[in-house]
Amino acid sequence: MVSRKIRVGMIGYQFMGKAHSHAYRDLSFYFEHGIEPVLQAIAGRNEEKVKKAAKQMGWLSYETDWRKLIERDDIHLIDIVTPNNTHAEIAIAAAEAGKHVLCEKPLALTVEQAERMYEAVTKNKVIHMITHNYRFAPAVQYAKKLIRDGRLGEIRHIRATYLQDWMMDPNFPLVWRLRKEVTGTGTLGDIGAHSIDLARFLVGEIDEVIGTMKTFVKKRPTGEMSGGLSAKIEGDQLADVDVDDTAAFLAHFENGALGVFEATRYAGGNRNGNRFEINGSKGSLRWDMEKMNLLEVYFEDDEPGLQGFRTIHCTEEHHPYAGAYWPAGHGIGYEHTFINLLSCFMDGIEKGESPSPNFKDGLINQRILEAVVESTETRSWVKIPN
């Protein structure tokens, strides 16, 4: 197959920049498309750092102004891996320039921003996606198939938790993820957004929520991220934390299911505890990102004496995306969820359709995030607007 080149411009280059860059580079190794991404240029404000990142991650060139990147004729797709407060301006500018757009989550700081972003990509007819990569673990995709095929019957419950512990130290610095003006919400938007997206993907649309949020450490030393989820203190000043350290909420789904959600960075021993359990009238299933290749499944119609959760190793060709990788039993990792997402994105560009999760999903997720915040403030149930 002769592939058409699509030249990518990525804005940002740290944790997510590394994950996205790796996925672009390895995509054609596992999947064959009529579209082949080329790592054309990367943008960042610090010339020394962005130049080093471009060399390390395989980008052909770099810019120190994202606007220049969007203006370039040799760029067809803009990939946004910057902090949340920059998403709207960059995505709208990219769409107006006729570039396809891939954006990290959450889509925006506010619903109003997310609405403008969705309007921009639809008006300019560019292909768009939001990077909720956990949808693309083969086990999660297989869970979706079981639910879609009716194997679990009527869905009644989802319990979704996202537990981390990397900010438990009160001396961990006040990085951008802890500043409302940059991130919007704290734990809720950073990791709770993933649970919301998975719940919508697997169970359906949420009708109303009631939530609570809490900040345990009120002041932290100032500092910045230094790679991955590490950070370094800069100076000896303490500053106020104005976002949540933990959030929990209940949700009523439009199909009658009940959801229980929790997101926290204060669950010691949980490095990346993204988990869900779904219960239906005919069965149940469980998934844990820290064991991402495994899916636990229970069927009510198993004969007495044999009933119980069975563990499926989702690495066989029967499991979505898994057949592109290794023989059965040879697991894949976190980075492959991004490769699978990009495979879906390239298919979308080739077909002229924006795959899910796209900016519409991002907008709906943003409405749910804001509803949780509102319900926390009003101590009442809040309907999700259409």
How far is the C-alpha of 87 from the C-alpha of 81, rounded, in Å? 8
Helices (H) and strands (E) in the chain, counts: 11, 17
CA atoms within 13 A on the CB side of 369: 31
CATH number, span 4-133 = 3.40.50.720
CA 63, 66, 70, 75 torsion-angle sign: positive
| CATH 3.40.50.720 location in the chain | 4-133
Tokens found for residue 96: 């107006």
Give the integer Cα–Cα distance in Å for 299 and 309.
8
What pTM, to 2 d.p., does this model score?
0.96
Looking at residue 228, its pLDDT comes to 75
Whole-number pLDDT of residue 349: 97
What type of residue sits at position 335?
A: E
What's the pLDDT at 3? Answer: 67
Q: How many CB atoms lie within 10 A of CB 277?
A: 18
Under 8 Å between Cβ of 1 and 32: yes
Residue ranges of the chain with per-residue pLDDT less than 50: none
The domain covering 137-330+365-378 belongs, at the CATH homologous superfamily level, to Dihydrodipicolinate Reductase; domain 2 (3.30.360.10)
Q: Which DSSP helix (H) or strand (E) runs through 151?
A: none
Which helix (DSSP H) or strand (DSSP E) does residue 299 occupy?
Answer: strand 294-299
Burial of 367 (0-12, 13-18, 19+ CB in 10 A): buried
User: 58-87 in b/e burial notation, b at 16+ Cβ within 10 A?
Assistant: ebeebbeebeebbebeebbbbbbbbbbbbb
Q: Report pLDDT for 237.
A: 86
CB 215 within 8 A of CB 266: no
Residue 386's pLDDT is 86
DSSP β-bridge partners for residue 225: 231
The pLDDT of residue 2 is 53
